């Protein structure tokens, strides 16, 4: 990145009131554990409902949504909060009165509100995936670190008891050294064709704001409010929908960070719509006492081929760890050590990963000064999201590439590099 964006740059490029330039706080104000946080919420329809329920015990200062119909019931619940359709206007008006921002919008509109909130010194809870492109993810991760802000990515399954036990098994060496992992989402969703383009925009939706940084596309009720997930302009496919949840397991268990090589295969990529199936491989170098790891990540309706080869079930599972002394097949809620007869008398290690006080409470407590950072803060979840997005890049570009994470370069692979950094439409440019 050439330089850090200034506050003047940000408000200029996003058409803001310049009055908001005055006396921005460098960091969020100090809040004692007994005080309530002052929170603004961006996106309160859909997944936003789950997230506002997670923080509703705090003081909700302002709420924002581009769709008044989907946000209707939430607006009624927060009738005393200031209500907006444009997150930029909301932050312009209330930034002096809030400590944190919760963001639950489609993938293509994660970056701008999150970056703006953090540039204003606000803590951020952001839905997964962290952003729509690798460049956006890195910018948010770096800014959170520079500003020393509390962050949490919405990987809510991280608090599940079974996940803790899986991590303990791997870290305690139950199956020996792990050098290979198969991770998958069992789904064939994707390739979501437009069927209603040109339909009049409903009065309750501010469609231009919904598009945000993306170039104009005729309104289509099959894309808004949900089908966007399966269009590259707006979403990251089923892989992006589930990738952060599923890859959280090997990332946590094996202390992964940045891959050095990425490749992918699958059906011919569509330039507009996301895939229904694909396979990718990400190579991670050795780290500490852990050997190099080859992570196979993909979308398969009935799981990857290795399950059939080993006569293993796919239902309820999404990760297979292969170690020097055995295997571990697991999902969010179940786990099986293999071969079963070998582990018939196995005694699991005493639990050493503490229970979470609650996924949203981790964020709230850290915002109030708890020195324990949220478990899915951007320093952890940023590299994980980048890997998921890089797999998509390899599939879309039909290429394998060596990845230099420090410079965000797909070495000698311009067709892949073209997908790393987005181009925002006029008025939404970011000079960072």
Express each pLDDT in 249-308 by its tens digit.
Answer: 999 999 999 999 999 999 999 999 999 999 999 999 999 999 999 999 999 999 999 999
Confidence of residue 193 (pLDDT cuts 50, 70, 90): confident
Express each pLDDT in 297-331 by its tens digit.
Answer: 999 999 999 999 999 999 999 999 999 999 999 99
Mean pLDDT of 381-401: 98
Confidence of residue 1 (pLDDT cuts 50, 70, 90): very low
Q: Taking 80 as the threshold, does the pLDDT of residue 242 lie above it? A: yes
Mean model confidence pLDDT for the chain: 92
Q: Are residues 341 and 265 in the same domain?
A: yes
Q: Taking 70 as the threshold, does the pLDDT of residue 19 lie above it? A: no
Q: Are residues 328 and 289 in the same domain?
A: yes
Q: Pick the more confident residue, 227 or 24.
A: 227
pLDDT value of position 30: 59
Please report where in the chains the tokens 């070495």 appear, as a residue: 411
Confidence of residue 4 (pLDDT cuts 50, 70, 90): very low
Q: Are residues 110 and 185 in the same domain?
A: no
Mean pLDDT of 363-378: 96
Which range has highest mean pLDDT (51-55, 222-226, 252-256)?
252-256
40, 98 Cβ separation under 8 angstroms: yes
Asked if the structure places residue 339 within a domain, the reply is yes
Which of these ranges, 10-24, 126-140, 268-282, has the smallest mean pLDDT?
10-24
pLDDT value of position 72: 82
Asked if the structure places residue 183 within a domain, the reply is yes
Confidence of residue 32 (pLDDT cuts 50, 70, 90): low
Torsion of CA 422, 415, 220, 69, to 10 degrees: -30
pLDDT value of position 90: 97
Q: Which domain holds residue 294?
A: 160-190+233-354+388-417
Asked if the structure places residue 227 within a domain, the reply is no
Q: Taking 90 as the threshold, does the pLDDT of residue 198 lie above it? A: no
Give the CATH number of the domain where residue 407 resides: 3.30.360.10
Asked if the structure places residue 432 within a domain, the reply is no
Q: Are residues 145 and 173 in the same domain?
A: no
Q: Are residues 86 and 181 in the same domain?
A: no
Asked if the structure places residue 117 within a domain, the reply is yes
Asked if the structure places residue 195 within a domain, the reply is no
The DSSP line for 19-51 is GGGTT--SSPPP--TTSPPEEEEE--STHHHHH
Asked if the structure places residue 105 within a domain, the reply is yes
Distance, CA of 196 to CA of 219 (rounded, Å): 8
Please report where in the chains the tokens 């839905």 appear, as a residue: 127
Q: Are residues 371 and 327 in the same domain?
A: no
Tokens coding 2: 């050439």
CA distances 316 to 57, 59, 159, 335, Å, are: 33, 38, 17, 9
pLDDT value of position 194: 74
- Number of domains present in the structure of the chain: 2
Torsion of CA 219, 225, 231, 237, to 10 degrees: 180
Residues 6+ apart with CB under 8 A from 1: 139, 142, 432
Predicted TM-score (pTM) of this structure: 0.92
At residue 364, what are phi and psi to the nearest 5 degrees?
A: -60, -45
Asked if the structure places residue 223 within a domain, the reply is no
Q: Are residues 82 and 109 in the same domain?
A: yes
Q: Are residues 336 and 297 in the same domain?
A: yes
Express each pLDDT in 95-124 by its tens digit.
Answer: 999 999 999 999 999 999 999 999 999 999
CA dihedral over 220, 224, 226, 227, signed as positive or negative: positive
CA distances 296 to 157, 170, 202, 336, 390, Å, are: 21, 17, 43, 19, 13
Residues 6+ apart with CB under 8 A from 268: none
pLDDT value of position 192: 78
Q: Are residues 143 and 179 in the same domain?
A: no
pLDDT value of position 2: 31
Which range has highest mean pLDDT (18-22, 41-45, 255-259)?
255-259
pLDDT value of position 29: 58
């Amino acid at each position: 990145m050439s330089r850090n964006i200034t506050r003047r740059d940000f408000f200029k490029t996003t058409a803001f009131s310049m009055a908001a330039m005055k006396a921005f706080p460098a960091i969020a104000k100090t809040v004692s554990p007994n005080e309530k946080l002052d929170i603004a919420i961006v996106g309160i329809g859909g997944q936003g409902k789950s997230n506002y329920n997670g923080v509703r015990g705090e003081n909700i200062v302002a709420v924002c949504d581009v769709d008044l119909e989907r946000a209707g019931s939430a607006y009624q619940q927060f009738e005393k909060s200031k209500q907006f359709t444009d997150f930029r206007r909301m932050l312009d008006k209330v930034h002096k009165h809030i400590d944190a921002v919760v963001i639950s919008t489609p993938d293509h509109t994660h970056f701008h509100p999150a970056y703006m909130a953090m540039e204003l010194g606000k803590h951020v809870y952001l839905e997964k995936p962290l952003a729509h492109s690798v460049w956006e993810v890195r910018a948010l991760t770096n800014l959170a670190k520079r500003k020393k802000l509390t962050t949490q990515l919405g990987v809510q399954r991280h608090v599940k008891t079974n996940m803790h036990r899986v991590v303990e098994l791997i870290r305690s060496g139950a199956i020996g050294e792990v050098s290979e992992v198969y991770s998958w989402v069992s789904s064939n969703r994707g390739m979501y064709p437009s069927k209603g383009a040109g339909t009049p925009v409903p009065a309750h939706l501010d469609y231009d704001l919904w598009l945000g940084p993306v170039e104009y596309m005729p309104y289509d009720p099959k894309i808004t409010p949900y089908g966007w997930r399966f269009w590259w302009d707006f979403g990251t496919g089923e892989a992006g929908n589930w990738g952060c949840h599923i890859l959280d397991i090997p990332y946590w268990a094996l202390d992964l960070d940045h891959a050095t090589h990425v490749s992918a295969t699958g059906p011919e990529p569509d330039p507009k719509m996301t895939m229904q199936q694909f396979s990718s491989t990400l190579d991670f170098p050795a780290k500490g006492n852990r050997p190099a790891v080859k992570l196979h990540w993909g979308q398969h309706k009935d799981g990857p081929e290795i399950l059939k080869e080993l006569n293993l079930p796919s239902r309820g599972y999404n990760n297979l760890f292969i170690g020097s002394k055995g295997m571990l097949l697991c999902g969010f809620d179940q786990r099986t050590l293999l071969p079963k007869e070998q582990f018939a008398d196995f005694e699991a290690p005493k639990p050493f990963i503490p229970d979470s006080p609650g996924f949203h409470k981790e964020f709230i407590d850290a915002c109030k000064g708890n020195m324990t950072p949220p478990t899915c803060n951007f320093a952890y979840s940023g590299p994980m999201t980048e890997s998921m997005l890089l797999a998509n890049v390899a599939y879309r570009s039909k290429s394998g590439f060596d990845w230099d994470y420090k410079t965000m370069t797909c070495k000698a692979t311009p067709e892949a590099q073209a997908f790393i950094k987005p181009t925002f439409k006029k008025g939404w440019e970011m000079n960072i």
